[in-house]
């Protein structure tokens, strides 16, 4: 992206800096912080280009934060004092612009200095900002020399976890895939209309049945959105619901259902869906999407680990709460908001919900457990422990034909394991795990 007189300027950069500060300083999700900027912040009346550019700067900064901070430490030899205010964030986002977004260096430098000058604390450090960034433009290769950008992109606990689980080569490929902006994947309501909507949208029909477009622009403005012909859903996230098989006319329980992409899938497959989640706010989004698509599902606001409905189901889908480390390509903030303590806490919660779900499944029924995490504790380890506790359950292995013939997505045990680097040349996919279980007695 080259900076021109028509491109977003200072307001977009100030917004991006606030977004990064919200994630790293206040532990707020990037989506949440961005929504506030757009609805009641400085971006409320901004042009679409300003909004998109602010989000791109913030997302790119977080994707490359490890390398950016190593470069920062070479540019600024002494730690900045607390009275420097947002100076570090101004520099971080400007480095992202220059090195990773292709913004004209002079524009990035000048506007970073303007950003510093506009803040009561950072204004005293605008000369430092100017000098540091001008040095970066002259000595970028030297300043980056010796930096392992892939290793720097992950906190220590995640690096160790991914290398142990998948090997260093796959871990590095996964990290590289997270540096790219994710494409837009959609699920079409009527399966027979996939080719039609692929043509209308200029999208590619992927092996698993999802449609893929280049990201960018307003989703609401795309053909078919208003009439509810499709919804946004990552390719990997669209697989687990289909692993239940033919559910037409059958009762299906969707546990931890919000925000509801899998509920929409099941309803579009003709199932009688009961969608349960403990968050009324998140379920509101599902209600809106059901109304837009003309699909129907029963909605229950309850705790999935405690709900006592007084009946069982033949089909249950459990998309369990997790660290969501498999979604970093779309949500780079997750790498800095989640810790190994969160993984352990959520793993314990998954165990409680999974054990309760087992009691809600009829004899002979099918339960699909899934998470958008890359952590073994939230995936295969969880299932191994479950099968040890529940001798009346067994795996029903997933076959390559069920995932578009992509055999690399199926583990030797017969589970689904997608990595962000799968289909890398076509834009990758989120990291997902799923296991299909049957209750024998």
For the annotated catalytic residues, the residue numbers are 372
At residue 374, φ and ψ (nearest 5 deg) are -95, 0
262 is in an annotated binding site: yes
Letter string b/e over residues 388-406, b meaning 16 or more CB atoms within 10 A of that residue's CB: eebeebeebebeeebbbeb
The reply to whether 303 sits in an annotated binding site is yes
Distance between CA atoms of residues 260 and 353, nearest Å: 18
Look at residues 341, 364, 327, 311 and name the one whose alpha carbon lies nearest to residue 63.
Answer: 327
Give the pair of three-digit tokens for residue 175: 């990290």
CA distance 398 to 417: 11
Ligand-binding site membership of 344 (annotated): no
**CA 206 from centre of chain:** 19
**H/E run at residue 96:** helix 87-100
Reported in sequence order, the residue ranges of 97-235 that DSSP labels E, i.e. its strands, are 184-188, 204-205, 211-213, 230-232
**CA distance to 91, 233, 286, 355, per residue, from 261 (Å):** 38, 6, 8, 24
Determine phi and psi for 80, rounding to 5 degrees.
Answer: -70, 140
260 is in an annotated binding site: yes
Annotated ligand binding at 215? The verdict is no
Sign of the alpha-carbon torsion through 221, 222, 227, 228: negative
> How far apart, in Å, are the Cα atoms of 365 and each of 244, 298, 312, 315, 358?
10, 20, 9, 6, 10
Distance CA 84, CA 86 (A): 6
- Locate all alpha helices (DSSP H) within 147-279, ordered by sequence: 149-152, 156-166, 168-178, 194-201, 239-242, 261-268
249 is in an annotated binding site: no
Residue 261 marked in a binding site: yes
Which of 324-344 are b and which e, b meaning 16 or more Cβ less than 10 Å from the residue's Cβ? Answer: bbbbbbbbbbbbebbebebbe
Measured distance CA(399)–CA(383) in Å, rounded: 18
Q: Is 256 annotated as belonging to a binding site?
A: yes
Q: Which residues are annotated as a binding site?
A: 256-262, 277, 303, 319
Give binding residues for S-adenosyl-L-methionine as ranges. Answer: 256-262, 277, 303, 319
């Amino acid at each position: 992206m080259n900076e021109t007189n028509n491109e977003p300027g200072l307001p977009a950069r100030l917004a991006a800096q606030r977004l990064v500060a919200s994630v790293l300083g206040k532990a707020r999700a990037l989506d949440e912080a961005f929504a506030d900027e757009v609805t009641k912040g400085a971006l409320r009346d901004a042009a679409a280009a300003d909004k998109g550019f602010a989000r791109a700067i913030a997302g790119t900064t977080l994707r490359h934060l490890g390398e950016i901070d190593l470069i920062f430490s070479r540019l600024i030899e002494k730690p900045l004092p607390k009275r420097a205010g947002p100076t570090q964030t101004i520099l971080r986002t400007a480095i992202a612009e220059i090195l990773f977004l292709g913004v004209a260096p002079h524009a990035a430098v000048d506007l970073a200095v303007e950003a510093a000058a506009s803040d009561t604390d950072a204004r005293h450090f605008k000369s430092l900002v100017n000098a540091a960034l001008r040095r970066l433009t002259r000595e970028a290769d030297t300043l980056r020399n010796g930096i392992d950008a892939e290793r720097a992109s992950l906190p220590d606990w995640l690096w160790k976890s991914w290398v142990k689980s998948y090997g260093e080569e796959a871990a590095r490929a996964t990290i590289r895939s997270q540096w790219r902006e994710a494409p837009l994947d959609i699920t079409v309501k009527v399966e027979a209309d996939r080719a039609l909507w692929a043509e209308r949208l200029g999208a590619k029909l992927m092996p698993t049945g999802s449609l893929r477009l280049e990201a960018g622009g307003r989703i609401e403005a795309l053909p078919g959105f208003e009439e509810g012909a499709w919804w946004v859903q990552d390719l990997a996230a669209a697989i687990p619901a289909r692993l239940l098989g033919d559910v037409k006319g059958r009762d299906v329980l969707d546990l931890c259902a919000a925000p509801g992409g899998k509920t929409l899938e099941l309803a579009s497959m003709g199932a009688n869906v009961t969608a349960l989640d403990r968050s009324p706010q998140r379920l509101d989004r599902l209600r809106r999407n059901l109304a837009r698509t003309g699909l129907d599902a029963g909605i229950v606001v309850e705790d999935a680990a405690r709900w006592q409905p007084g009946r069982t189901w033949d089909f249950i889908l459990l998309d369990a709460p997790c660290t969501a480390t498999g979604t970093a390509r779309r949500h780079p903030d997750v790498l800095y908001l989640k810790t190994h303590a969160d993984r352990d806490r959520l793993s314990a919660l998954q165990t409680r919900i999974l054990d309760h779900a087992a009691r809600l499944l009829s004899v002979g029924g099918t339960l699909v457990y899934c998470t958008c995490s890359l952590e073994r504790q939230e995936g295969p380890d969880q299932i191994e422990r479950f099968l040890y506790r529940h001798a009346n359950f067994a795996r029903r292995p997933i076959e390559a034909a069920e995932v578009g013939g992509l055999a690399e997505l199926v583990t030797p045990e017969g589970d689904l394991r997608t990595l962000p680097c799968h289909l890398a040349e076509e834009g990758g996919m989120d990291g997902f795990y799923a296991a299909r279980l049957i209750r024998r007695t």
